[in-house]
């Protein structure tokens, strides 16, 4: 994988965030997602690579662009062969409501190294670097809280767990409270929730719960770059979903998926641009004929983590797609 791809994908997530941010708070989540998807696809066409979408907007008959299996890039002969996972808007309802932590996200890995995660729920547990090797998805919530507290040199009462605010998580929430730990309930966006565990200033220590499997892979790539850990287990609900797992090469649907299962190899790139404000990234701000963005881009092989403040001219670019 070429180093230059790190900066190329920044342009991709910036374009998606700028396009989607126009829809913040307007109650139109589909429009926000469509705008981001079109912008992201347009910029991908300018990148010298041989890319293939393994996690995208759906199957070919479900999505007009960024569908699973779509080829991206403008150098199929000599460009690096990579697999690509995208979420043009991680948190469509967040954008529609003008809430916190919506992101435009892209992850890239060498061809064949990223799990082709089916669109279903995945049980997840995620932590930052200090607690790597200390968590166990099969252990109790309480035991995992104690393990993270010990690893980070704090009391359980000072640990903060992030959980999607869903009825299916009530038992997890009850156990966290019984253990004496604190909770940050989020409406959407468990990619941001997982990534935040690797940064002290976000105040988050561990993520629990069931969320989308594609988002689990995206989060795992981000944590791979940060030296963190995510464990997952697919949660198919019926025979059709089990068959879908088998079709995508996942024979044992009950297997605990480790970091190597989710994103193998020694290299990966993760980029995310804030659409709305969050603990980690500021959202897009429009200021006259300019806009500002904040992006994080990381590469696993080098361990490099960059925060990039972008300033963009809006003159004569009504679709907010930037290919400079």
User: Which CATH number does the domain housing residue 104 bear?
Assistant: 3.30.540.10
Note the pLDDT of residue 318.
46
Q: Report the percent of the chain where pLDDT is more than 90.
A: 88
For residues 92 and 168, membership in a common domain is answered with no
Helix, strand, coil percentages (3-state) for the chain, rounded to 5, are 35, 25, 40
Cα 201 to chain centroid distance, Å, stands at 19
Give 225-251 pLDDT, tens digit per residue.
999 999 999 999 999 999 989 988 888
Nearest Cα to 228, choosing from 131, 137, 109, 108? 131
Closest CA to 283 of 101, 90, 107: 101
For residues 134 and 37, state if they share a domain.
no
Binding positions for Mn(2+) are 33, 57, 87, 90, 215
Give domain status of residue 319, yes or no. Answer: no
- Does pLDDT of 319 surpass 70? no
Helix axes 29-44, 5-21, angle to 10 degrees: 150
Report the pLDDT averaged over residues 198-210: 97
pTM of the model: 0.94
- Do 165 and 68 fall into the same domain? no
Query: What average pLDDT does this structure show over 273-302?
Result: 96
Residue 318 lies in a domain: no
- Which pLDDT score is estimated for 249? 85
Q: Is 253 a residue whose pLDDT tops 80?
A: yes
Question: Alpha helices, DSSP H only, in 45-166?
Answer: 92-97, 141-152
Q: Are residues 145 and 258 in the same domain?
A: yes
* 22 and 72 assigned to the same domain: yes
Residue 4 pLDDT level (bands cut at 50, 70, 90): confident
> According to the model, what pLDDT value does residue 317 have?
57
Residues 239 and 289 in one domain: no
Same domain, 69 and 109: yes
**Residue 248, helix vs strand vs coil:** coil
pLDDT of residue 324: 52
Residue 82 structural domain: 4-114+267-313
Per the structure, the count of domains in the chain is 2
Q: What is the pLDDT of residue 59?
A: 78
* Numbered residues of the known binding site: 33, 57, 87, 90, 215
Please indicate, yes or no, whether residues 194 and 135 belong to a single structural domain of this protein.
yes
Q: Burial of 12 by CB count in 10 Å (0-12 exposed, 13-18 middle, 19+ buried)?
A: buried
User: Which is nearest to 125 in space by CA: 60, 169, 70?
Assistant: 169
Token duo for residue 6: 């790190």
Residues 292 and 273 placed together within one structural domain of the fold: yes
Residue 323: pLDDT band by 50, 70, 90 thresholds?
very low
Q: How confident is the model at residue 60 (pLDDT cuts 50, 70, 90)?
A: confident
For the cut 50, the answer to whether the pLDDT of residue 157 exceeds it is yes
> Once rounded to an integer, what is the mean pLDDT over residues 288-305?
96
Are residues 250 and 232 part of one domain?
A: yes
Average pLDDT of 182-204?
A: 96
Over range 36-60, report the average pLDDT.
Answer: 94
The answer to whether position 51 is within a domain reads: yes
Q: Domain check: are 24 and 46 in the same one?
A: yes
Nearest-angstrom CA–CA distance, 1 and 265: 11
Best CA proximity match to 230, nearest among 190, 192, 194: 194
Res. 315 pLDDT band, cuts 50 70 90? confident
CATH number where 162 lies: 3.40.190.90
Q: Half-sphere exposure of 52 toward its Cβ, with a 13 Å CA cutoff?
A: 14
Average pLDDT, the chain: 94
């Amino acid at each position: 994988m070429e180093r230059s791809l790190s900066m190329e994908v920044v342009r991709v997530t910036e374009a998606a965030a700028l396009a989607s941010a126009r829809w913040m708070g307007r109650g139109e989540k589909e429009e926000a997602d469509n705008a981001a998807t079109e912008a992201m696809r347009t910029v991908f066409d300018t990148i010298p690579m041989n890319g293939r979408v393994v996690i995208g907007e759906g199957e070919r008959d479900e999505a007009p662009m960024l569908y699973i299996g779509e080829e991206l890039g403008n150098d199929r002969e000599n460009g690096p062969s990579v697999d690509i996972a995208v979420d043009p808007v991680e948190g469509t309802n967040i954008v529609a409501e003008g809430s916190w932590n919506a992101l435009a996200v892209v992850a890239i890995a060498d061809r064949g190294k990223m799990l082709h995660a089916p669109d279903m729920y995945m049980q997840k547990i995620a932590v930052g670097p200090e607690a790597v090797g200390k968590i166990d998805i099969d252990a109790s919530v309480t035991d995992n809280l104690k393990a993270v507290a010990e690893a980070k040199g704090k009391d359980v009462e000072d640990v903060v767990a992030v959980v999607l605010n869903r009825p299916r998580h009530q038992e997890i929430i009850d156990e966290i409270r019984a253990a004496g730990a604190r909770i940050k309930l989020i409406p959407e966006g468990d990619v941001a929730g997982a990534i935040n565990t690797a940064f002290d200033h976000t105040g988050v220590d561990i993520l629990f719960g069931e969320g989308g499997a594609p988002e689990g892979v995206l989060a795992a790539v981000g944590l791979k770059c940060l030296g963190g850990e995510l464990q997952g287990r697919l949660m198919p609900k019926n025979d059709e979903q089990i068959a879908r797992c088998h079709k995508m090469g996942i024979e044992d649907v009950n297997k605990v998926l480790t970091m190597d299962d989710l994103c193998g190899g020694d290299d990966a790139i993760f980029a995310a641009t804030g659409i709305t404000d969050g603990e980690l990234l500021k959202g897009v701000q429009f200021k006259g004929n300019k806009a500002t963005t904040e992006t994080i881009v990381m590469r696993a092989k080098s361990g490099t983590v960059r925060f990039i403040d972008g300033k963009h001219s809006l003159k004569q670019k009504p679709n907010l797609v930037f290919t400079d």
